[in-house]
Chain A
Amino acid sequence: MAKPATRFVVKRLNWMEWHSGRMARRPGEVAVASFATFDEAEAERARREGEYRERANPFECGRAVRNWTHLDEPRLRDWLMDHGVDPPEPKKDGAADWSAWWKQNQKKLGAEKRAAVWEALDKVRFFTVREEPARPVGYAVVVVNWEYNDEFYDANTEQGEVIRVFRTRERAEAECADNNDIARDVWAEALGDAEIELDDEDEEFAMFDMRDRLRRRRGLLPGEKLKEGEGLFRTTANVPFYEVIEVSLEGLE
């Protein structure tokens, strides 16, 4: 039997914004490009990785040395010094502020030493290449998890309960639209949308905020912004209570 055709897929690893502007990696990855050969995929991975490295502080990708590298801290320090990089001095409590050190020194280090630091931090990678069989795609309709935080409703960044999966986007979008119509009516009544006065004082206020969800989906780094007003909803009118996400179908050709 012929081996199924494979593709080389560039995937973005699942980094998400965590507390105080730090990032945390979670299981999972998102396909961003697909190629017939490994060399093409690897070139694209390297290009994207390089772009992220220009913008990211690797020491904010997790809060502890174990999140950054397989080396323990003394070995990390030795490795850096062997490559001509002076690591930060530990403070009185023995901990070093690696993040602040990077912010202050990354430009001074120059390209070669910066690359050496990234090489040592082998757990901070944003993209990878996977060889996978070419699979069909399906479309899952998911309920967005809107949680109230005592001020407004916030869409959880990575959560959504699956309702049903469709083979075509068209059918999934139709199901999603029907569900949204019903949900918007229910939420509007519960929240008293009709009574909300959109006066100037409250112009900045949005009852529904899904900016973090959008930022994660687009792979934005801390501090990188969306367009003004994007992901904010003052009333229930256009709020996505349901969304369609793409999933690959395995064994369901």
Chain B
Amino acid sequence: MTRKAAPKRAKKPAKPKPVSAYIVVREMVSVNRSYTEPDRVFLSRSAARKHAGELNRELRALLNPFDDGRGPGDLMSDGQEAFDALLKKLGLSAPKKSKGDGYLSSRDWAAWWDRTYYDVTETQRDAIWDALDEFKWYTVTKTTLE
């Protein structure tokens, strides 16, 4: 008597092996740690870096760096004095301080950026952006794709 062969079990589809991948995100000013949502996932870090470069160029074109109320002193590790020195070197004038004493006097950097935009050359504007080393740019981070 021959034994009946056991029916073959249907093979479960193999779980895809997780692979390292890269996304491009920008850390946002927020109470919780938070980032922009990515639109692409890359296999190679260099392709992700290229995309980050494109997004950062867009950021420079679209944003006013002082729009969220922070001034050069907050966006530059060398502080306000270094920024004033940079403006002087570039031949640009800083905005006037508003009336008030001590901490009540302030300079409206966001309005200054918008007002002087067409008087500032691309080279001057790039020099300002380059100096704002505390500004949050798009960067590449690692993730897992399954």
Contact = CB atoms under 8 A, between A and B. Distances in A.
B145 A66 contact: no
Interface in A80-96: none
A64 B114 contact: yes
Contacts of B47: 250-251
Chain B interface main SS type: mixed
A249 interface: yes
A159 interface: yes
A248 B41 contact: yes
Interface in B29-65: 30-44, 47, 55, 58-59, 62-64
What bracket does the count of chain B residues touching chain A fall in?
35 or more
Given A25-B62, A160-B37, A167 B30 contact: no
A171 interface: yes
A165 B145 contact: yes
Interface in B64-78: 64, 67
Chain A interface main SS type: strand
* Residue of A30, A161, A248 with highest tally of chain B CB at under 10 A: A161
A249 B41 contact: yes
A248 B145 CA distance: 12
Interface in B114-146: 114-115, 117-118, 138, 143-146
B21 interface: yes
Nearest to B117: A66
Nearest to B119: A72
A66 B114 CA distance: 7
A229 interface: no
B145 A167 contact: yes
Interface string A10-27: 000000000000001111
A118 B43 CA distance: 40
Given A27-B138, A30-B39, A66-B118, 14 more contacts: A27-B62, A29-B39, A63-B114, A138-B41, A156-B34, A159-B28, A159-B30, A160-B34, A162-B35, A165-B41, A165-B143, A247-B41, A250-B47, A251-B43
The 5 closest A-B pairs by CB, nearest first: A251-B43, A64-B114, A72-B118, A27-B58, A66-B117
